[in-house]
Copies of this chain bind each other. A is one copy, B any other.
Amino acid sequence: MARIKPGKNASKRDVITQKAAALFKNKGFSSASMRELAEAVGVEAPSLYNHIGSKSELLQGICFKVANAFTSYLDSAENTPAANAARIEQIIRFHIRMMLDHFDEVYVANHEWKHLKEPYLSNFLIQRRGYEKRLITLLVNGIAAKEFKQTNPYVAVLTILSAVRGLEFWQQHKKNISSQVLEDDMVNHLLKGITK
């Protein structure tokens, strides 16, 4: 039988993870079977276990890769000398680009984390909660510095994160809007609103 060709920068494990992300996105973690994943990879199901430990392990890999990417970016944004408003804008743009460039994985991290097993589930939620809190702090600082209107920072962060997440719908039935227009329009809406 034909072997899989792992490219120079993608081990077979990476290929499997990538196919798993697409599959988990399309069918949901629970409904996706190892048989289907194997078929997508071009192999029989038991052969997958030469490269991975378990189905759960795949989900963990995907979820934490995404979570770590966001956390790392926030680290760097916090350490950049800039106004809070500029930082928030950078972060929104990073979220949008992540949604567009790593759609499958981000989608899975957003939708399927529920199926993580302990202690990964708890760790994921703690990391997520910490991320939100740091964003809220940025907003609180921005309000204190009069860069933002007086508003509830929790609601504002919620609104921003959720709006960006919603790009999954755009991705699903791709419109003929360029990524750049989309990014700019959404940033604009979220930062300035739409009412004249």
Contacts and interface: CB of A to CB of B under 8 A. Distances in A.
Interface of A: 27-31, 85, 111, 114-115, 129, 146-149, 151-152, 154-156, 158-167, 169-170, 173, 175, 177, 181-182, 185-186, 188-196
Given A152-B181, A154-B177, A163-B166, A189 B196 contact: no
- The A contact surface, by secondary structure, is helix
Nearest to A26: B114
A129 to B, nearest CB: 8
Given A31-B115, A158-B166, A185-B152, A193 B196 contact: no
Contacts of A189: 151, 155-156, 159, 193
A147 B196 contact: yes
